[in-house]
Structure 1
Amino acid sequence: MPSVLALAVLATVAGRPDLPHDRAADFSPVADSYDGFDAAAAEQLRQDQCLMAGVLRLGGPGMFSTAQDALDQTPDKLHTAA
């Protein structure tokens, strides 16, 4: 069975000479696909969101309302609350 599968793959590649053999050069990471993406800011936002989500689960009633209010704010205010 593996030899049949290998033969099928080779026949497909050999039968299609128009396919580029080095396609890795055509691809770039998604983060580089548009201007204005700040990976560090996105990472910080996600860390703050995760921290507040933990407070929602583990904190008492007072902490629950504080975390919920923080998650409804802008990223700067969320970071301050976190």
Structure 2
Amino acid sequence: MADQTELNRLFWHSRRGMLELDVLLVPFVREVYPSLPADDQERYRKLLSCEDQDMFGWFMQREEPEDPDLRRMVRMILDRVQPK
């Protein structure tokens, strides 16, 4: 489980300054990230190292990440907000 310092750092890194990304990433890091298994936490940190424009395209479902780890994390975040 992540400690509070790491969660605070991830919270600020999740704030991208692009509303479309902020409304997905900030609630995810607050509500879901702490309970993720370590490998998914690593995937989320990897996602945060990506360019905003790439993430925007992925989350708007215009394209998919080539990396399977990133693809898994994008799907996990989208599944959380999309009606089933």
TM-score, reference length from structure 2: 0.37
Structure with bigger RCO (C-alpha 8 Å, 6+ apart): 2
Higher gyration radius (CA): 1
